[in-house]
Amino acid sequence: MTQQADLDAMYQEIILDHYKNPQHKGLREPYEAEVHHVNPTCGDEVTLRVHLSADGTVVEDVSYDAEGCSISQAAASVMTELVIGRSVADALKLHETFLELMQGKGTVEPDEDVLEDGVAFAGVAKFPARVKCALLSWMAWKDATARITSQGATPKETS
């Protein structure tokens, strides 16, 4: 493929749509954990909150505030769409699948039934410098979720 074609494969319509109209954006309550992740290289940032069901098994809500490039913004939007309402176990599996896709250097064939809009990121895998962008919010989500499940945290609300 030419690099131009690679580029077009990365900047899919779906990605640009999510970039311009991000889903689930804005910080919401309640949440049990809030994390702040940074991509040290470029400065992209995300503040992300996770709210799990009382028994810690279901992702009730993920809300975030993020600043970054089209890829990182779209990834946050798609990620929330994918995980909200899912069981934590399934969401973690999805994260694994997405990670494999991103680290596959363009050789992994994504399954649309599983990744839904996430398949649009297949093209990113050919740009190693941008893989970090696509993973930033996923990493933040995983980190926040781990904090809740390891600490048995209870919901926080600002008083």
Task: Kindly list the residues in this chain that would bind other proteins in the complex (CB under 8 A).
Answer: 2-4, 7, 10-11, 16, 38, 40-45, 67-73, 127-130, 133
Distance of CA 34 to CAs 82, 110, 132, 153, Å? Answer: 19, 30, 20, 11
> Would the CA dihedral through 9, 94, 84, 138 be positive or negative?
negative
With a CB cutoff of 8 Å and minimum separation 6, the contacts of 108 are 100, 101, 122, 125
- Distance in Å, CB of 93 to other proteins, minimum: 24
Q: Which is nearer to other proteins, 56 or 128 (CB)?
A: 128
- Distance in Å, CB of 159 to other proteins, minimum: 27
Please identify which residue in the block is written with the tokens 């804005």.
26
- Distance in Å, CB of 35 to other proteins, minimum: 13
Q: Which is nearer to other proteins, 93 or 105 (CB)?
A: 105
Q: Which is nearer to other proteins, 70 or 97 (CB)?
A: 70
Q: Which is nearer to other proteins, 4 or 154 (CB)?
A: 4
- Distance in Å, CB of 20 to other proteins, minimum: 9
**For the chain, how are helix, strand and coil distributed in percent, rounded to 5?**
55, 20, 30
